[in-house]
Structure 1
Amino acid sequence: MRTPAGAECPFFYGNYYRGRNQEECRLISPAAPPNNWAPTLCRTCPVPRITQANACEHMVLRAWVERQWLGLRKRVRVSAFCQKVHQEVAHPEVGCGECHPIPFSISEHG
């Protein structure tokens, strides 16, 4: 579904049927304020970019809201885990490197 920021995200849910205005992120678990999810976080959320770049069925994303800069700003933090090799994924956009190996490296050929 399309987020308020305009990106496609499989975890965003919006119910606008008959005048309703219910929006939620199904990846971020409900939390008490001040670490709660808000639609404005979709502007800087990395999840749509990660899911567009890497569609590995073995990768599991976990997200939470983090406060920074004296508690005035909130942002979404994401971690990824590969269930196939049972390890944390350092770069979720790329993947773990085991499930979908990259055939060659640019630095090797040039």
Structure 2
Amino acid sequence: MRSSETSRSVLTASTAAVVPAGPVTHAHYRREPYVRCRTASGTVDAKAAAWTRTHVLLHWIDDDGLAHNRWTPAATVHRIPRDDSAWRDPYDDFRFYYRPVPAAA
């Protein structure tokens, strides 16, 4: 399944009620890592807005333009390059994601 086809239904309302234990780490503003979350019903590409040792707070916009924020178990999430994501945040800090490559001497 493609992420864009499943982003509305992959993470149910029950995952929103998760309150992770332990300290929460937040990503730098507009520099959140892109991640892919796999579930029994498909995958969703998102940004990791925050995380603990056991959970990740996903943020993404679905095909209807609705914003979603859901905590999900960290074991279901892995980091991906921005270019591999089916969804891209239009407000990204492009200098962070696309650093210039030094010229060969």
Common topology (TM > 0.5): no
Give the TM-score of the pair, scaled to structure 2.
0.25
Give the TM-score of the pair, scaled to structure 1.
0.24
| Structure label with greater radius of gyration | 1
